[in-house]
Chains A and B, each alone.
Chain A
Amino acid sequence: MAIQSPSLEIGAGVGVAVGPVVVARGYWQSVSRRLRRDPVTLICGIILLLIVASALTAPWLGLADPYKTSMIRRLYPIGSPNYLLGTDELGRDMFSRLIYGGRLSLFMGVMPVVCALLIGATLGITAGFMGGRVNMAIMRVMDVFYAFPSVLLAISLSGAMGAGAENTLLALTIVFIPPVCRVSESVTTQVRGFDFVEAARASGAGTFTIVRVHVLGNVLGPILVYATSLISVAIILAAGLSFLGLGVKPPEPEWGLMLNTLRQAIYVNPVLAALPGVMIFITSICFNLMSDGLRAAMDVKA
């Protein structure tokens, strides 16, 4: 799985506007305006909203019990009466398990990125702004983690800590902190070199004030874009860990785990066995497209 630094252009958004008065628009308002006009992003947003909403409201949707097994009703095909998407290898309702599965799968995908964003961005912005020894110390530590391919690191950490959702969360957070930190540091260093930051320093303001007013507003955009591009990777990675048996433990419904347990069924009911992966795929694509849309919306020159 690849965690890359995207090409970093800070949309400083400057063009020369000569002529009649233009109604000033704040940066974030113009970004959201462009986002709302982009059909691809809108559609993906709606799909994701559906998936997330159904996952969140699952207990109240009148679904079958996702844990209720039945030895006689195993591996019913899709479209069976009472079982919209059939049943899995232990007789549980697939439709219900897919929706309930979204809860854990999405959580395991989004949560590590959020945590890594908080920790990694703080570290990276600090390193970028302070420069010097602080920068070296932080980035060298990150280098150690960067020496591992991300999948390997995730699996080794998970494997060493033992299976379970909490350990997976921890492992994935650790895996994502270095890339977020690196991107944050790079962007912050770039912004820090701009004249207006120099001018802010020249005005005698305190470091925190300068960072808060001048640096954060210009830095959070690209960092956020990068972080959202990590969500799809995280979802796949979390599902992959569960697939290997390192993540969520049975009988919890989770898409990756379901792919694993349904493997035995591919000779009996192949389409059923592939269903959880479809969910992962859809979610991943939507997050990717939204991340691309966000980047495009932010990359405009006024």
Chain B
Amino acid sequence: MLLYALRRLIYLVPVAFGVSLLVFALVHLAPGDPISAIVPPDTPKEVIDKLKEYYGFDKPLPVQYVRWLLVTLSGDFGTSIGTGRPVAQEVGSAFGNTLILAISACLLAFTLAIVLGTTAAYAKSRAVDRLVTSIALFGVSVPHFWLAIVLVIIFSVELGMLPPMGIGPENATSWRLDWPHIRHMILPTIALSVIPLGVMTRTVRSTIKEILSMEFVTALQAKGMNDRQILLHVLKNAAPVCLAVMGLQAGNLIGGSILIETVFSWPGTGFLLNSAIFRRDLPILQGTTLVLAFFFMMLNLTVDVIQTFVDPRIKRA
């Protein structure tokens, strides 16, 4: 198993290079050079050139890439143009906030999905199945940022029960485990969880249905196993596929939380990315994208490795 993990890790290296190349190229995608984009329009050329030289933007692109890569690998993600603070610090604290939201949303979504999906797969009545399928459809079709706004309208504007934005009371920048902070977390979590809920419910339902139709289940029933024991077997068989999809969804949540964070002004990586784009704070843009992409890759790797444990059919090299 260890060998498999190692193999996948080594295999990731060229991909990681590609990712770093892409992130580096992001900066240079916009027309004009990075400096001219952020300085006031009437800045004299000599100042621009000096800035370019300082930041190294005057060197040829491959040289810039290598320099940037080496610097980044050493842990220095640069300095935010907007706040002057190290990028690593900004991204670090923001990442923590995003994780809190993502983990809660995942817990909510996956628990519900397993319950709903299993119920639908076992359901004798078509009405139940239809209901669950509709819920799942809702989850994958609804624009979650719109749902967020609707939730705010219902619970903050009309009912005044929950706060419409922020991570905690009074412009808090980090989260704590107490009731006021939990109140701030409820609506964003719900909004963020709809898509994974929809996808996972569908996945769980179709996987379990497929397994139930397999002959070995009939064989187990013929052996005299009761339904609970069979359910255990079924869940074991369903685990590999469902785990894989869960991992993918979790990764998507972390990388894709920007819309919800924007609606709720939740100070996570998404929000950071958003403000970085508008301030054209390219070091933050690069740093955040890089961190998120690598986290996503590592998550996928972990899911793959766990799968080799869970799914005996996958050969361990």
Interface residues of A (CB under 8 A from B): 1-2, 4, 7, 140-141, 143-145, 147-152, 155-157, 159-162, 232, 236, 239-240, 243-246, 259, 263, 266-267, 270, 273-274, 276-277, 280-281, 284-285, 288-289
Contacts and interface: CB of A to CB of B under 8 A. Distances in A.
A147 B15 contact: yes
Contacts of A232: 140-141
Given A4-B199, A147-B19, A160-B30, A284 B149 contact: no
A266 to B, nearest CB: 5
A274 B153 contact: yes
Interface in B128-142: 137-138, 140-142
28 contacts: A1-B256, A7-B206, A140-B15, A144-B21, A147-B297, A148-B289, A149-B251, A152-B273, A155-B258, A155-B273, A156-B23, A156-B26, A156-B273, A156-B285, A159-B277, A160-B26, A240-B259, A259-B145, A273-B149, A274-B150, A276-B146, A277-B150, A280-B143, A284-B143, A285-B137, A288-B137, A288-B140, A288-B141
B121 interface: no
Contacts of A140: 14-15, 18
Contacts of A245: 278
A274 B149 contact: yes
B123 interface: no
B26 A157 contact: yes
Nearest to A241: B259
Contacts of B31: 162
Given A148-B19, A266-B157, 12 more contacts: A2-B199, A2-B249, A144-B15, A149-B254, A150-B252, A152-B258, A152-B293, A160-B29, A161-B29, A239-B143, A266-B149, A270-B158
A244 B257 CA distance: 12
Nearest to A149: B255
B245 interface: yes
A96 to B, nearest CB: 20
Contacts of B252: 1-2, 149-151
B152 interface: yes
Contact of A161 (B30, B276, B293): B30
A259 B145 CA distance: 9
Given A143-B15, A244-B274, A149 B292 contact: yes
Given A1-B195, A160-B27, A281 B255 contact: no
Contact of B273 (A150, A159, A240): A159
Nearest to A159: B277
B248 interface: yes
B290 to A, nearest CB: 10
B141 A152 contact: no
Interface string B269-292: 000011011100000010001001
Please classify how large the interface on chain B is, using the bins under 10, 10 to 19, 20 to 34, 35 or more. 35 or more
Contacts of B251: 149
Given A150-B256, A160-B27, A280-B143, A263 B149 contact: yes
Contacts of A2: 140, 195-196, 199, 248-249, 252
A232 B199 CA distance: 14
A78 to B, nearest CB: 14
A270 B145 contact: no
Contact of B248 (A4, A147, A156, A274): A4
B10 interface: no
A259 B255 contact: no
Contacts of A151: 252, 255-256, 258-259
Interface string B179-210: 00000000000000001100100000010000
Contacts of B26: 156-157, 159-160
Nearest to B289: A156
Nearest to B259: A240
Contacts of B277: 155, 159, 244, 246
Nearest to A246: B277
A268 to B, nearest CB: 10
B145 A243 contact: yes
Contact of B149 (A141, A236, A259): A259
A174 B162 CA distance: 39
A125 B253 CA distance: 30
B196 to A, nearest CB: 7
B296 interface: yes
B149 A281 contact: no
Contact of B18 (A143, A162, A266, A285): A143
A285 B147 CA distance: 14
A152 B289 contact: yes
B302 to A, nearest CB: 14
Interface string B22-43: 1100110111000000000000
Given A148-B19, A148-B293, A267 B278 contact: no
Contacts of A155: 258, 273-274, 277
A141 B276 CA distance: 27
Contacts of B141: 232, 281, 284-285, 288
A138 to B, nearest CB: 13
B227 to A, nearest CB: 26
